[in-house]
Amino acid sequence: MTATLSPPTTTPEPQAPLQPQGWLRYFSFSVDHKVIGLQYLVCGFIFYFIGGALAGMIRTELLTPLSDFMPRETYNEVLTLHGTVMIFLWIVPVVNGAFGNYLIPFYVGARDMAFPRLNAVAFWLIPPAGLLLISSYFIGSASQSGWTAYPPLSLTTPATGQVIWILSVLLLGGSSIFGGINFIATILKLRRPGLKMLQLPMFCWALLGTSILVVLSTPVLAGTLVLLSFDIIAHTGFFNPALGGNAVVYQHLFWFYSHPAVYIMVLPAFGLVSEILPVHARKPLFGYITMVYSILAIVVLGLVVWAHHMFTSGTPPWMRLFFTIATSLIAVPTGIKFFNWLATLWGGKIALNTAMLFSCGFIFNFVFGGITGVALAQVPFDIHVHDTYFVVAHFHYIVYGGTVFVIFGSVYHWYPKFTGRMANESLGRLHFLLTFIGFNLCFAPQHWLGLNGMPRRVAEYDPQFTFINQVSSVGALLMAISTLPFLINMVYSAFAGEQAGDNPWRALTPEWLTSSPPPVENWKGPAPLVTHPYGYGAAPESQAVGASSP
């Protein structure tokens, strides 16, 4: 029984080494949360490079006003795959699955997630779903209707690719829901005795909020996509106006998931950056309680703002008013968090290493994307720039400038914990510099393009926009180049990096109070009780209290 259900690489004997140290365990159905976390991370990066290559194709096409690099249909496929891969296979799995799985059990003082096998199932849904999605390009036609798959467009584009797209997103949604259930149970039910909710590191709160959003909103998307697949396969008319259906209902249901999905992508990043800043600024996280309430406020508000994506979809005035106000309100908790990060840095003993650089890059980009977000919430402005490159610039500032910067910062911050070795700082700074300049060069000009009316998702454009598009493409090239020092750094440092020791950053959160990389059940002895994870500037022994039991 055990032999068939448990991974072959493990043994129930607790005293023996539980897993081989070889690479093979990363390809096994391992149930160790740290292995699963790294599986998510590496798998996510593979899809990031695929999605990045697709972005490179888009920017190459847009070098010239005519669609001369690829046919228009191919451009639509590339566009759809880029969006879907980046959201469902890179950002969501990495920022939740990778860092959540690796860190949350440490933070709650547990030895694994609440449901370890469900955890492995959730991860192993991702590679097949990703392969399925990408394979659709090679077996005829990938979906051409964008990552939103709005009907009636998604009903008129080639059906095979669209149905495969739906299937793939359903699998990824299932993975996401399983992960969310696991995080909620782990954070609420698996806390070490004596550890109170308000003593948890901020990342736990961020992931709790995220998981609540996942559990409440992802199933709605799943149901909607099933209905959409009926429209395609069985020719029902749910969302098909020609058959008496209602395409706007699809938009409502889609955005009921996909707006919270923005917070699913960005709340964990808030949590991660709240872990990184105090360590490298040697200061307690400013305003812990207000941070917690801000996260909860974002969760609640995040569920009632979805129709701000639909101001041009014939929404009635009362709806516009409500969603404008609700969306603008989100700026309050978000702003509180922003100022809390600044206050955390203020007067700190800041170490400007790569992790810190990326975190500061995040703060810079995120406030920019946040401000354009508040602007987009205002109906008159939104109608003007709807479906233009202004929107593209806005959400890339949030999702790339925000979340991806935090992912890179987190990789540098936790690299010593993952591998036991330090990442190379010079390569890291080069990576940051190229990414930061490339990113801003790529996306800042797109605000201008959008304000002047360049529509998004179209392979051709008015020749007056040529120069700005070329500038943007140069920025994209820099971003592509920036991955080279990163990759070299990751591989080189894993073998030849400086030995890190257990706690190179002298951090106080529990994952640093064990060896690097940590043993299978996280601590050789009892789990430490960390009641002040941000107690920098006080005597360390008063902060991290070793467990008195068992």
Site for another protein in 12-71 (CB under 8 A): 12-15, 18-19, 30-33
Closest CA to 223 of 162, 169, 297: 169
Q: Is 253 in the site for another protein (CB under 8 A)?
A: yes
Q: Is 149 in the site for another protein (CB under 8 A)?
A: no
Query: d(Cα 261, Cα 67) in Å, to the nearest integer?
Result: 32
Of 145-153, 244-252, 369-377, 534-542, the segment contacting another protein by CB under 8 A is 244-252
Residues 116-145 binding another protein (CB under 8 A) are 116-119, 121
Instruction: Decide if 120 contacts 36 (C-beta within 8 A).
Output: yes
Q: Which two tokens stand for residue 59?
A: 């920017």
Q: Is 100 in the site for another protein (CB under 8 A)?
A: no
Instruction: Decide if 461 contacts 65 (C-beta within 8 A).
Output: yes
Residues 167-186 binding another protein (CB under 8 A) are 177-178, 180-182, 184-185
Instruction: Decide if 119 contacts 113 (C-beta within 8 A).
Output: yes
Residues 424-463 binding another protein (CB under 8 A) are none
Q: Among 26, 197, 235, 426, which residue interacts with another protein (rule: CB under 8 A)?
A: 235
* Cβ 526 to another protein shortest distance, Å: 5
Q: Is 532 in the site for another protein (CB under 8 A)?
A: no
User: In the structure, how many helices (H) and strands (E) does the chain have?
Assistant: 19, 2
Q: Among 163, 249, 319, 437, which residue interacts with another protein (rule: CB under 8 A)?
A: 249
At residue 83, what is the residue type?
G
Q: For the stretch 490-503, what's the b/e string if a residue is b when 16 or more beta carbons lie within 10 angstroms of its beta carbon?
A: beebeeebeebeeb
Q: Is 256 in the site for another protein (CB under 8 A)?
A: yes
Q: Is 236 in the site for another protein (CB under 8 A)?
A: yes
Measure the CA dihedral 424/427/432/435, to 10°.
-140
Residues 467-526 binding another protein (CB under 8 A) are 520-526
* Cβ 179 to another protein shortest distance, Å: 11
Helix (H) or strand (E) holding 361: helix 354-377
Beta pairing partners, 545: 529
Nearer to another protein, 261 or 422 (CB): 261
Nearer to another protein, 227 or 300 (CB): 227
Angle subtended at Cα 206 by Cα 351 and Cα 296, rounded to the nearest 5 degrees: 125
* Cβ 41 to another protein shortest distance, Å: 19
Q: Is 255 in the site for another protein (CB under 8 A)?
A: no
Q: Is 220 in the site for another protein (CB under 8 A)?
A: yes
Residue in this structure with the two tokens 């008496």, named with its chain if needed: 244
Q: Is 245 in the site for another protein (CB under 8 A)?
A: yes
DSSP, res 454: P
Q: Is 527 in the site for another protein (CB under 8 A)?
A: yes
Residues 190-209 binding another protein (CB under 8 A) are 190, 192-193
